[in-house]
Amino acid sequence: MAHVLIVEDEEPLCLLLRYNLEAEGYSVDTCVRGDEAEIRLEERAPDLLLLDWMLPGLSGIELCRRIRARPQTKSLPIIMLTARGEENERIRGLSTGADDYVVKPFSVPELMARVRAILRRAKPEVVSSLLTAGDLELDRETHRVRRNGREVHLGPTEFRLLEYLMQSPGRVFTREQLLDGVWGHDVYVDERTVDVHVGRLRKAINRGRVPDPIRTVRGAGYAFNDQFAPT
């Protein structure tokens, strides 16, 4: 499992990132100061660093420079988080040594995709592209889903929904959480849309008399049950 360190002094953003990364199965550590992060990095190098540009203690840029100068962390994957405005213009002109950067406010699903892409490139051993549960198999790389060896054809939203649910087996997601995680924050969709897509997803993966891995939790939302017994 990949370990991600978030260095971000905006607490709500930090929590949002932690929540989403954990939902994708990463182990997460957070830190609000640049100087504190430097000490943390010496203790334990993460597989990827999400680094804010403006930080108390030590700026993200300076920290990035120091990380690149240390042989132990020279090739640590770094994604910089920058605020819209001057800093953003400056960061473009600077060679920060970061692998990628995103401008706030950003779409969480997009950031998650970048995290995955960078990890896949830099640390293929810690990110597996295959999610499996019972006789169900989802390949993130090829976007293929199989049930009992047979290919299942899903639309892009159903695919993302299944991927999102399978990443956190057992966890109950509200419709709102699914909208944020699958459709993204800034998308305006009715919560009933979730039910429609869950319905389509179920129809596609549960052909014939097979157990349904998706559990409807009354008054709460949906969960993926990885203990479903395939016959």
Contacting positions for Ca ion (CB under 5 A): 9, 52, 54
CB under 8 Å to 229, separation ≥6 — which residues? 134, 211
When the beta carbons of 23 and 54 are compared against Ca ion, the nearer one is: 54
The residue ranges of DSSP E strands in the chain, in sequence order, are: 3-7, 27-31, 48-52, 78-83, 100-104, 130-133, 136-139, 144-147, 150-152, 172-174, 214-217, 221-224
Report whether 7 contacts 49 (CB < 8 A). Answer: yes
User: Radius of gyration (Cα) for the chain, nearest Å?
Assistant: 19
CB atoms within 10 A of CB 95: 8
Residue 49 C-beta: closest distance to Ca ion, Å: 15
Question: Which residue of this chain has its Cβ atom nearest to Ca ion in the complex?
Answer: 54
When the beta carbons of 83 and 126 are compared against Ca ion, the nearer one is: 83
When the beta carbons of 85 and 155 are compared against Ca ion, the nearer one is: 85
DSSP letter assigned to residue 195:
H
Q: Which of 134, 143, 115, 104 has its CA nearest to residue 46? A: 115
Residue 80 C-beta: closest distance to Ca ion, Å: 11
When the beta carbons of 52 and 163 are compared against Ca ion, the nearer one is: 52
Residue 114 C-beta: closest distance to Ca ion, Å: 19
When the beta carbons of 104 and 200 are compared against Ca ion, the nearer one is: 104
Output the furthest CA–CA distance in the chain (Å, rounded). Answer: 60
